[in-house]
Structure formats: C-alpha cells, structure tokens
Amino acid sequence: MKKSFFTKTNKYSLCIFIGLSILIFIQPVSAGVKNYLQKPDSLFNSYKGVISDIISRDKLPYASLTVENTNISTVTNADGEFLLKVPKSYTDRMVVITFLGYGSKRISLTTLHPDGNKIELRSLPIFLPELEVVSKDPQFLIQKMLDKRSENYCNNDMIMNAFYRETIRKKNTNVSLSEAIVEVYKQSYNNNQTDMAALYKSRKSTDYTKLDTLVYKLMGGPFNSLYLDVMKYPEFVFTSDIFNNYSFRFLQTDRIDERLIYVIGFEQLKNVLEPLFNGKLYIDAESYALVRADFDMNLTDNDEATKLFIRKKPFNAVVNTTKAHYQIEYRLSDDKWYYAYSRVDLSMKINWKKKLFNTYYNSTIEMAATDWFKDVNKKGFKMKDRINPNVVIQDAVTGFYDPVFWGEYNIIEPDKSIENAINKIQKKNKK
C-alpha cells in the first residue's frame, strides 16, 4: 500500500486496500490485457448445480469445490450455485466439496451432469474440546497464528489464476458490473514483497444514466481482494500493537472437513479511537493456521471511517458508510494453506444538500482462486501486462460479450440479481 493513499491510517494499518472513488470525473487508467486464444469447448467439461444442507435444504454460499490432486477449484455463489470447468483429461478425478461446519463430500466427476446437479452436505455436531484447550488464553492462539505464518503458508512464489467480480448497485438496481480473469504473481508469505496482477480477460457494463450526476467508482480492482489476504499482509489489520488494539475471546469450536477449528472473536478496545475492526477468526487447531476471517469495520466514528474510503466527492454531498464487511478464506493443499476466496461488501449513504432524498449505493467485490502454478518465472510476468494498484476496472475494461465468453475458465456463478442484469445486457446487445 502506498502511503499517499491514506496519510494518517498507516499508523494502525486500518485500511484494507479498498479505495472508493466518488467523482464527477476521473481520468481513465490503462491496463495491460493479454491477447487470448480461447480453447474449444471440446477440451473441457462443465458442471453446474447447487449445494445445500441435507436436512434444511438451505443453500450453502461460498462452499468450496476442488478437483482432487489438482489445483483446480471454484466456490458457490450467494445462492449456493456453482459452475465447475474441468479439462477432459481430468474427468476420472474426484471433486471434493467442503463448507465450514459440514462434513466434506467426495464425488466422482463421472457421476455429475452438465447441469442440474444437487449436492447435499450434512452439518457436523459442534465438539467441545478438552477443558485445557477451552481455558487457554485466546491471545496465545492469536500469537501462535502469527508466529507460524511462514510455516503454514506457501514459501514459494506462485502464479494464481482467479476470477474477479465487482458490482455497484444503486439501492437494489445493478448499475455497474465488471468481471475479469486475473493472473496473479503471488509472492511468498515469508517476504515483504507485494503481489502483482494482470487482467487476462475482462468485460464490463455500466449504466451511467442511473448514476445521476454522480460517477461512483471503485479503485484498486483485484488489489482490494489481494490485500484482504491478512496472512500475507497482517499489517493491514493486525500489527505489533494487536493486543493493545483488540480484545479476544474464545467463542466455540467448529469443523472444516475433519479438522478442528477454534473460533476466536475480537473487538476493538474502547480506549482506541481510530476505526478498527470487529469480527471472528477461524484457526486450525492442529497447525494454528488462519483458515477464515469475517470482520466489519467499526463505524462508530463514521466520519473518520468514511474518510478511509473516499478519494474525492462533490462539495454538496455528505457521505456516510453504513456497512464495511470483509471475508477471507484459505484452502489446504499439500500441508500448506493458500488464498481461496475473499469478499468485500460496502454500503454508502449519500445525503445531497438541498435535496429531499438520500442516495444509497451498495458495492460487492469478490475474487476466487481457480488454479495455481508452481515453478514460476518472475521475468515471464511482463511489466506491460501488469495493472496498477490504483486501477479503476470500470475504466480499464471495455465491452460485454456472449455467455461463452469465459471459455475454459472457472468463474463464480452470478447471483440472481447479477444474472438478471447480464441477461438484460445480452438482450440489449442482440438488438
């Protein structure tokens, strides 16, 4: 993160790198987009379906699907729906489905259909660990989590393929949708070098007629998601002052697959005035690795919190942040934990002076790792292809294309509201 973005907040590392730009006009930012030759459909199979609770039938959002003995993976959307694309050379493999608090399930790809698959998971009972573990100071668990970072996470540079999506809604109406296949040069977790990213394939649609006189844009693109990797960038949430800023308490145990998970709650201390975070950390009992984090920014001092997001705004607009929620998940492979999925949900209320009604904007930023590659050559990640951490995807991307646009690449299935917006875009393009 560059200091020029947030001058006073680096002291406590408060800002997950999400720059919300509210501008009347913003200069377009260029991005290197690679030429792409789409592989024919005959080289891969697609499987669509839904994952739900076997008893309640509730859909399970952000469940993980991984092709066994590969790095190919995807996640379900907010409606529990998935789309998994697998090379035909792997169709004899098993797919493993996991979800926090549920038993995992292994299914042969040969038993899946192209569409309409219904996969059910069974919730696991919550096990109380031994009294000795429950009574442990949660600060001990947090310190172990931080101390064992270099052991638990990848200590080699790798290439990560990921699907990125950002949406902007005015009230409940989608006004902007940007999506991309992103190639990330993921730096080792035991060094301080920042990740690099390139747009491989991308599309967008923005209906500026619904934005009034205000151009509401999100700055940072995929870096909003990358910098949510709190084990790569712990300073953005947890610094050396962690125990002077937060109180921690042991909440319960849970399960991911057959692994015991400690759930630790944390809250900003009342004597700390800067806007920090409140939420839950999910720590693997065996390795002390952080496997998931859910947290919200403390919006008690709303003026100070909102300043963290706004780069520029009209003089006659008063902006309040009504929600800033963050989620990050990791996936275990070969005894190492890897970035799997992250999501930011941000809501703003804009009060226009001398106007009767307020304007409400809701933004969602999500990214899912879909494949990993080892033995990378840093020189192969060309400077001309990299995007800047300041990038505004709405300006860097042009065009919106047909349903088979993504070809072989795994994506997050669109939620119902996004799917409706895409259908409208496609109908408009046919006219």
pLDDT tens, 76-90?
Answer: 999 999 999 999 999
Query: Which residue has 């101390």 as its token pair?
Result: 147
User: 11-25, 58-72, 148-162, 303-317: which has the minimum mean pLDDT?
Assistant: 11-25
pLDDT for the residue 398: 67
The percent of residues above 90 in pLDDT, for the chain, comes to 48
Return d(Cα 198, Cα 10) in angstroms, integer.
Answer: 26
Domain assignment present for 227: yes
CA 219 to chain centre: 15
Domain assignment present for 89: no
Return d(Cα 363, Cα 218) in angstroms, integer.
Answer: 8
Where do the DSSP E strands lie in 1-157?
19-23, 44-53, 64-67, 73-75, 81-87, 94-98, 105-108, 117-121
Compute the 3-state secondary structure of the chain and give helix, strand, coil in percent, each to the nearest 5: 15, 40, 40
| Higher local confidence (pLDDT), 375 or 237 | 237
Which amino acid, one-letter code, is at 176?
S
Contacts of 348 (CB under 8 A, 6+ apart): 20, 22, 306, 309, 319, 320, 321, 322, 360, 361, 362, 363
When pLDDT is averaged across residues 32-52 and rounded to a whole number, the result is: 68
Residue 109 contacts residue 92 (beta carbons within 8 Å): yes
pLDDT for the residue 33: 35
Helix (H, G, I), strand (E, B) or coil at 275: coil
Q: pLDDT category, 125, cuts 50, 70, 90?
A: confident
pLDDT for the residue 288: 94
Tokens of 123: 């919730």
Residue 333 φ then ψ, to 5°: -150, 125
User: 77-86, 286-295, 376-385: which has the minimum mean pLDDT?
Assistant: 376-385
Helix (H, G, I), strand (E, B) or coil at 257: coil
Helical ranges in 67-187 per DSSP H: 131-134, 138-147, 149-152
> What is the number of structural domains in the chain?
1
Helix (H, G, I), strand (E, B) or coil at 132: helix
Cα–Cα distance list, 241 to 8, 290, 305 (Å): 16, 19, 20
Domain assignment present for 137: yes
pLDDT for the residue 412: 82
- Per-residue pLDDT at 431 exceeds 70: no
- The bridge status of strand 359-373 relative to strand 336-352 is antiparallel
Q: Give first-to-last CA distance, the chain, whole Å.
A: 44
Mean pLDDT (the chain) is 81
When pLDDT is averaged across residues 296-315 and rounded to a whole number, the result is: 87
pLDDT for the residue 347: 93
- Per-residue pLDDT at 27 exceeds 70: no
pLDDT for the residue 209: 58
* Cβ-count burial 318-356 (b if 16+ within 10 Å, e if not): ebebeebebbbbbbbbeebbbbbbbbbebbbbbebeeee
| Higher local confidence (pLDDT), 386 or 122 | 122
Q: pLDDT category, 136, cuts 50, 70, 90?
A: low
Residue 69 φ then ψ, to 5°: 60, 25
Residue 370 φ then ψ, to 5°: -115, -15
Return d(Cα 24, Cα 313) in angstroms, integer.
Answer: 7
Domain assignment present for 104: no
When pLDDT is averaged across residues 61-69 and rounded to a whole number, the result is: 93
Domain assignment present for 412: no
pLDDT for the residue 128: 56
| Higher local confidence (pLDDT), 410 or 108 | 108
Residue 238 contacts residue 244 (beta carbons within 8 Å): no
pLDDT tens, 226-244?
Answer: 999 999 998 888 767 899 9
Full domain range(s) for residue 311: 19-30+128-394
Domain assignment present for 415: no
Residue 301 contacts residue 321 (beta carbons within 8 Å): no
pLDDT for the residue 221: 87
Return d(Cα 284, Cα 331) in angstroms, integer.
Answer: 11
Return d(Cα 6, Cα 308) in angstroms, integer.
Answer: 7
- Per-residue pLDDT at 9 exceeds 80: no
- The 3 state secondary structure assigned to 164-229 is EEEEEEECCEEEEEEEEEEEEEECCCCCCCCCEEEEEEEEEEECHHHCCCCEEEEECCHHHHHCCC
Q: pLDDT category, 277, cuts 50, 70, 90?
A: very high
- Per-residue pLDDT at 153 exceeds 70: yes
Q: pLDDT category, 327, cuts 50, 70, 90?
A: very high
Residue 50 contacts residue 59 (beta carbons within 8 Å): yes
Return d(Cα 281, Cα 279) in angstroms, integer.
Answer: 7
Cα–Cα distance list, 7 to 176, 238, 365 (Å): 29, 18, 24
- The bridge status of strand 94-98 relative to strand 105-108 is antiparallel
pTM of the model: 0.85
pLDDT for the residue 307: 86
